[in-house]
Each structure stands twice: as C-alpha cells, then as structure tokens.
Amino acid sequence: MRVALHLAEPPVVVNAGVGVHGVRSPYDVFRLPDLWQVHVYGYAATLTVAGRPHAVTPGSVSLVPAGVQVRFDYAGRSEHLFAHFRTSPAGEPASVPVVQDAGPAAAGLSGLMRAAIEAFPGGSPRVAAEVWTALWRIAQLPEPDTGHARHGAVAAAIAHIEANLARPLTVPDVARVAGMSHNHLTRLFRAETGLPVVGWIRRRRMARARHLLTATTMSIPAIAATVGIDDLQAFNKTCRRELGASPRAVRATPSPAPWSHSAV
C-alpha cells in the first residue's frame, strides 16, 4: 500500500510528540480527519491502515494520509515519535509506502523527530523544517524488496545534496560522493528522478528558500546564503524562474496558519 505525499513545500505541523501506548489498552483505533500522521517506531506491533495490516518493528516508519482510519495492536508498553501535519498540494507527489523499515536511516530520522518535538510548539519554523527533512528522507528510503527501489548511488547523491544546500555543489563532487563517474551519475539521476542533478539542486534550494521566506524573518541576503546562492542578483533571477515571483513577493504571500489538534 502506497500514499501520494506532496513535499514541494514545507508541512504545517500541528502536533509533535512522544506517544506511549499499550499500557491501559492493548489497542487503539482512531482517525484524524484533516491531518497526515508520521510515526517512527521503537517497538513491534501491528498497524492496520484502511483495513490492511502491516507489521511494524523498531526502526519502522509509517505515513498515513488524512481521513484514513488506523488501528494499533500492541504487545505491551509501546513508544513512538509522531507528528501530525498538513501538506500543500504544490508540485508532483512522491509515491511512498505506508510502512517502511528505515534500516540505518532510523537513527537519523529519530534525531530529526526528537529535534522537532523539542522545538514544539514555540519554534514553529524549526519544527516544520525538521519534519520536512524527515519526510524527504522517508520518501527517499530504498525499497530493496519492491520494484520501486531507488539506486543506492542516487540515494547517496540526494542525501549529500540535502545536507549541503548551503555549500557550493558541483556534479563531479556529488558523483564522487555517490561513488561513480560524472557521466554515469548524470544518466542514472535523470532516469531515477526525471531531473538532471543541477535541476534537482536548484529545485531543493528554492523549496528551502520559499520556506525561509514565508516562515521566518531572516533577511533575503541571509536566506540566499543559506541556500547556497551568495549572489543576490542570481538569487532574484532563480526565485522568479522557479517560484514565479521575486523574493519580496514570495515573502508577501501569506503562509497557512497552524491550527491545533489533540495528541495521539
């Protein structure tokens, strides 16, 4: 079972925390009418989504769309990290499994979720940034047992790009990290993502710039530097081409206001 997750813009995070379950009841059934759910698990249980059971184990992650009923069957005291959020319909959605084993990425995902939880509710821009990064990493997890696996070199390239958007990035440098030649990565990257490496870097930089422009009070020069474009003229030009408006006009566009919901 897969879901279509839009990641072109940062999510509006309504709730984030540590859920402790399986103490008073061996199961929970609930539905969030207007909110997505992301969970990172530290226990073994059965998660039933829209009537379909999925096994979760320590290190598993799950994504459940708004309005879908879920049931958790626990084997005792169970603790997970969660966030409830809304997404913008902008951009092409990523197709992501409802449940995945994060493998070696689980520790990093837990760190991002804990950082979001620690910043909630006072640091809303930081919360959104941490959860957004976690969602991107979940969307890019390799799926070795399905026909949807992302090539390991492409996954390594994407992870390197995401972690270094503020620094100079060249295709040869990214290829070196991915462990292959410039030309080989260029062909493989386009086949896997539909974009050239440079186009992916530009899209990710401008997605982060949009978030910083609309969700923070950082100066425009500081935002340009944060996304690796020190030349303000180049930043303005890229904003107009990728976001359809100048940085000031993007900033003037109101962001959706967060609203509250009870923790699960």
DSSP secondary structure of 107-127: HHHHHHHHHHHHHTTT-HHHH
Of the three residues 140, 163, 179, the one that is the final residue of a domain is: 140
Residue 145 resides in a domain: no
Quick check: is 96 in a domain? yes
CA nearest 209: which of 236, 175, 173, 184? 236
Kindly tell me if the per-residue pLDDT of 66 is higher than 80: yes
Residues 136 and 200 in one domain: no
d(CA 166, CA 8): 18
Q: Is residue 74 part of a domain?
A: yes
Claim to verify: residue 115 and residue 162 sit in the same structural domain: no
Contact 127, 16 (CB under 8 A): yes
CATH assignment of the domain containing 199: 1.10.10.60
With a cut of 80, say whether residue 9 has pLDDT above it.
Answer: yes
13 and 133 belong to one structural domain: yes
Domains identified in the chain, total number: 2
Give, in degrees to the nearest 5, the angle at Cα 31 between 27 and 34: 155
Tell me: do 201 and 119 sit in the same domain. Answer: no
pTM above 0.75, yes or no: no
Residues 63-96 as b/e (b if ≥16 CB within 10 A, e otherwise) read: bbbeebebebebeeebebbbbbbebeeeeeebeb
| pLDDT tier, 256 (very low <50, low <70, confident <90, very high otherwise) | very low
Residue 72: which pLDDT band, with cuts at 50, 70 and 90? confident
Q: Give tens-digit pLDDT for 147-200.
A: 444 577 888 888 788 778 888 999 999 999 888 898 999 998 888 878 899 988
Residue 83 is part of which domain span?
2-140
